[in-house]
Amino acid sequence: MRRSYHESDLPATDGYIRRPPKGDKKSLKCAAVLIPLTFYQDEWHLLYTRRTNTLNDHSGQVSFPGGQCDLEDETHERTALREAQEEIGLKPQDVEILGKINEVVTVTHYEITPVVGVFQSPYSFFVSTIEVGRVFTMPLNWLANPRHYWQFQHPKANHPTIAYHPFDGELLWGATARITLNFLKIIELI
């Protein structure tokens, strides 16, 4: 699980905004998320947030800490760490970056670069209650079990959409579920 994934392992991009796939006329906006990995209750977990219901975009949805790239962010790692600190108070110095995994393009025209990092549990989070309604984890072994997720065709997506059965009252689906499955494939749990 300690293998590093570097920029050279991923498709080349030419900065924070790049051309969309053929047939799509809009530019893709840069975003990055942190895939926070922690060892908790004798097994590995991924940390997620549930966005507040008051947000304009993706309100009430489960997500990784992250967001849109700022011009002063020199790397996707910086974007992911900055956003994690703003949203849940996870300090950059408390995260060991392992690398990046494949980018995901959303139906809202974001190209999300997932950055994998490990932090120690327990951790005292300082949550931005404007953006985040809840911070919680899900065990990797539960996430990797194929009985816990399914695929369906979202009307706006060019690919199957992933959704998980609820875990601790939380519904993981869409881009965050796709990023989760990509990560699980890379670390060979599925």
Q: Domain extents for the chain? A: 7-138
Q: What is the pLDDT of residue 61?
A: 85
- The 10s digit of each residue's pLDDT in 18-70 is 444 554 546 899 999 999 999 999 999 999 999 886 756 655 689 999 999 99
Residue in the block written with tokens 């110095």: 93
Please check whether the domain covering 7-138 is classified as CATH 3.40.50.720. no
Q: Which amino acid is at 63?
A: S
pTM: 0.83
- The 10s digit of each residue's pLDDT in 80-117 is 999 999 999 999 999 999 999 999 998 888 999 999 99
Q: Which amino acid is at 69?
A: C
Q: What is the pLDDT of residue 160?
A: 78
d(CA 130, CA 27): 28
